[in-house]
Amino acid sequence: MAILKRFPHDLTVLNELRPVLIELSDLATCSILFQKAFEHYQALYPRGYSVDTDNSVQTPGGGFGLMEILVLADLYNTVGEYDRAIVSIRRGCRWLQGRAEQKYWDLCDDDREYDLMADGREGEVQPGMFPLDVNARHRLAVARIKTGETEEGKVRLLSCF
């Protein structure tokens, strides 16, 4: 943990520390560390990627990619902070897709921005039909079901297949 004082958002350190914190059942600390890293990388790379100047290769999230977002969602789901899991998946995947400025999706109580097809919700904003990794869909479904939003959870779960 002392190394984090010097390199607070270093993903190598966080990924080495994560299994230790999980083994110690200190999931709250682990989720805080990953959340702070997430916020740091979002601020550092607002477009959702960094570019290696030597070979012009894009790195999703500047290194804080989909796997780290899934870890964060898993941590939140495990400690019962389902709303935070939902927010981390929705905003994190949107950010990695270069759509961080589309904050209006946060006004929707459901996950229609990731609907695969129109589902007949009359008089409302149409689904965005943006791609969402099956692993992120699964975690989103779990969080929705745990919050009591079973219908929305089913929509996410059925779109996994």
Higher pLDDT, 55 or 94: 94
CATH number for position 60: 1.25.40
- Looking at the structure of the chain, the number of domains it has is 1
Strand partners, 60: 49
pLDDT digits over 40-85, tens only? 999 999 999 999 888 889 999 999 999 999 999 999 999 999 999 9
- Domain with 90, as residue range(s), is 2-158
- Per-residue pLDDT, averaged over 121-132, amounts to 66
> In 10 A of CB 71, how many CB atoms?
18
Residue 18 has a pLDDT of 95
102: Cβ contacts below 8 Å, ≥ 6 apart? 94, 113
pLDDT at 124 exceeding the cut of 90: no
Give the whole-angstrom CA distance, residue 65 versus residue 110. Answer: 23
> In 10 A of CB 3, how many CB atoms?
12
pLDDT at 123 exceeding the cut of 50: no
Give the whole-angstrom CA distance, residue 21 versus residue 93. Answer: 25
Give the pLDDT band (50/70/90) at residue 122: very low
- Per-residue pLDDT, averaged over 109-117, amounts to 85
